[in-house]
């Protein structure tokens, strides 16, 4: 059964690569690359959020965002060792996705207003006071540590499921899982990539053209 469309899979692994690259470029002071990669992630995240409304069944928020009570009940079942492979994100995983989207959005938004007190500053830093920019820069740095912890929790959950005999990585690579029941409806990924292209062109026009032209 196909449970993940092509865009979701590319988004997932691109997010992994981009976050690692953003961490590296920030530590090494490669700020032109840092901003360029951040703009790519911004376009991807924006597309993913829109795809969460109009995309494939398993990509939609309505599919994996449940009531807190249902998520808690699911976790209590997990504690008893009764695990099954869900069609898409399970109730607890849905809240993990929301948390990840929130932290990524916080990173990207605060990054737009950030400055390093030397040469680099976000494209919107001039719109706020120096103190406000400094405060948002501090949030940008500290929230990344929270994001790393969140990612660590996600990785631990994946390994926990693997130990219980449920492989969550393979479906995110192939799109398919050995499940029974009705198959979720898939939307063609070309529509998601068209949305991504529009969003990235808007970002390029307003913010990214200068830094990208410097690199290339």
The domain ranges of the chain are 6-178+191-215
Residue 98 makes CB contacts below 8 A (sequence gap 6+) with 65
Three-class SS state of 121: strand
Per-residue pLDDT at 179:
85
Under CATH, which architecture does the 6-178+191-215 domain have?
A: Up-down Bundle (1.20)
Per-residue pLDDT at 34:
97
Per-residue pLDDT at 81:
60
Contacts of 189-193 with C-beta under 8 Å, sequence gap 24+, read 189/5, 189/6, 189/7, 189/10, 191/54, 191/55, 192/5, 192/7, 192/47, 192/51, 192/55, 193/7, 193/47
Per-residue pLDDT at 82:
60
Per-residue pLDDT at 84:
62
Per-residue pLDDT at 75:
82
Per-residue pLDDT at 74:
84
User: Cα angle vertex 143, ends 141, 144, to 5°?
Assistant: 65
Mean pLDDT by 10 residues, the chain (216 residues): 96 98 96 97 99 98 93 78 75 94 98 90 96 97 96 93 90 92 94 99 96 89
Per-residue pLDDT at 106:
98
Per-residue pLDDT at 214:
87
| Tokens 């499940």, located at residue | 179
Per-residue pLDDT at 110:
98
d(CA 164, CA 84): 9
Is the four-CA dihedral 45, 50, 53, 54 of positive or negative sign?
A: negative
Per-residue pLDDT at 147:
97
Helix axes 31-54, 91-112, angle to 10 degrees: 140
pTM above 0.75, yes or no: yes
- What are the tokens at 91? 């109730």
| Tokens 């979701």, located at residue | 8
Per-residue pLDDT at 211:
92
């Amino acid at each position: 059964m196909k449970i993940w469309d092509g865009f979701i899979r590319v988004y997932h692994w691109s997010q992994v690569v981009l976050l690692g690259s953003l961490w590296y470029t920030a530590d090494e002071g490669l700020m032109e690359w840092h901003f360029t990669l951040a703009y790519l992630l911004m376009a991807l995240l924006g597309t993913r959020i829109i795809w969460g409304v109009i995309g494939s069944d398993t990509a939609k928020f309505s599919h994996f965002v449940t009531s807190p009570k249902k998520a808690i009940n699911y976790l209590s079942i997990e504690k008893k060792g009764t695990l099954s492979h869900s069609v898409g994100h399970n109730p607890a995983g849905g809240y993990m996705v929301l948390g990840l989207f929130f932290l990524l959005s916080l990173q990207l938004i605060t990054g737009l207003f950030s400055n390093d007190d030397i040469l680099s500053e976000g494209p919107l830093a001039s719109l706020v006071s120096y103190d406000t920019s400094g405060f948002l820069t501090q949030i940008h740095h500290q929230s990344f540590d929270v994001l790393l912890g969140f990612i660590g929790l996600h990785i631990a959950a994946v390994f926990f499921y693997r130990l219980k005999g449920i492989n969550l990585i393979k479906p995110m690579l192939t799109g398919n899982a050995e499940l029974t029941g009705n198959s979720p409806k898939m939307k063609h990924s070309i529509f998601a990539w068209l949305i991504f292209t529009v969003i990235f062109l808007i970002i390029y026009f307003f913010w990214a053209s200068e830094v990208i032209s410097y690199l290339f």
